[in-house]
Amino acid sequence: MSSSNTNFLYTSDPGLILGFHGCEKSVRNAVVSGRKMLKASENEYDWLGCGFYFWQNNYDRTLEFAKNPPGKKKYKHPSVLGAILSLGNCLDLMDAKYIKSLKISYETLEQTAAIEGKQLPRNKNPKGVNNSKDRVLRALDCYVIESIHKAMQAQATYPFDSTRGAFVEGVPIYKNAGFNEKTHIQICIRNPNCIKGFFIPRQEVKWP
């Protein structure tokens, strides 16, 4: 069988995983109690398209985000909401199969834009941030990912429940390092049913 065959069954995480979401303490408590639900993000510059965002198994990075959210948003009591997630049918951008799909999607959009005399969105930094390579406003990536979802919907294909990506972010942790200070794995849940439950993270206790 050819190694390029894409009909294998191993293109999503088969078990439950932990995700963390940075938010205001009152929001965390309301979601855990069941009094309210998180609001899906629908910004045109979202890194993985529209959905509910979580850092995969990364409490410290999530708390850092809550204490220093982007833009003008500030949390009076920054907190971390824990979630138990199933990726389901995942557009996993750490999987070669889906990396290729993303590339093909971009090339198709690029060709269409050229024919129509239009320009694709760009990944860029906010105004006043000129020295960062991160380009945190990722309108192009969001556009390409959302185009995949729209194409699947138009074809009546079973939709992706989630999207996952690894991001090398921040400055190298030492000279010539292959590791950066803010590198993380991010998850965007599109299907709310993939969120199996919420919890307030607890601290480790000494045992035995």
What is the band of 4 on the pLDDT scale with cuts at 50, 70, 90?
A: very low
Let me know if residue 158 belongs to a domain: no
Paired tokens of 91: 């557009």
Reported confidence tier of residue 134, pLDDT bands at 50, 70, 90: confident
Q: What is the mean pLDDT of the chain?
A: 92
- The arithmetic mean of pLDDT across residues 119-143, rounded, is 87
What distance in Å separates the CA atoms of residue 138 and residue 123, rounded to the nearest whole number? Answer: 4
Count of domains forming the chain: 1
- pTM here is 0.91
Taking 90 as the threshold, does the pLDDT of residue 96 lie above it? yes
The whole-number pLDDT of residue 46 equals 96
More confident site: 13 or 47: 47
pLDDT tens for residues 52-64? Answer: 999 999 999 999 9
- Residue at token pair 């999607």: 105
Domain range for 28 is 16-89+195-199
In a 10 Å sphere around its CB, with 0-12 CB exposed, 13-18 middle and 19+ buried, how is residue 135 labelled?
middle
On whether residue 43 sits in a domain, the answer given is yes
Each residue of 137-194: pLDDT tens digit?
999 999 999 999 999 999 988 999 999 999 999 899 999 999 999 999 999 999 999 9
Whole-angstrom distance, CA of residue 96 vs CA of residue 99: 5
101 in any annotated domain: no
**Residue 73 is assigned to a structural domain of this protein:** yes
Classify residue 42: in a domain, yes or no: yes
Query: Is 80 inside a domain boundary?
Result: yes
Residues 52/81, Cβ–Cβ less than 8 Å: no
Could you report the per-residue pLDDT of 179-199, keeping only the tens digit for each?
Answer: 999 999 999 999 999 999 999
pLDDT beyond 80 at 6: no
What number of other Cβ atoms are within 10 A of residue 164's Cβ? 24
Q: Is residue 184 part of a domain?
A: no
181 phi, psi to nearest 5 deg: -65, -25
In a domain, 38, yes or no: yes
| Helices and strands of the chain, counted as H and E runs | 4, 9
Q: What is the pLDDT of residue 9?
A: 61
Cβ atoms < 10 Å from Cβ of 192? 12
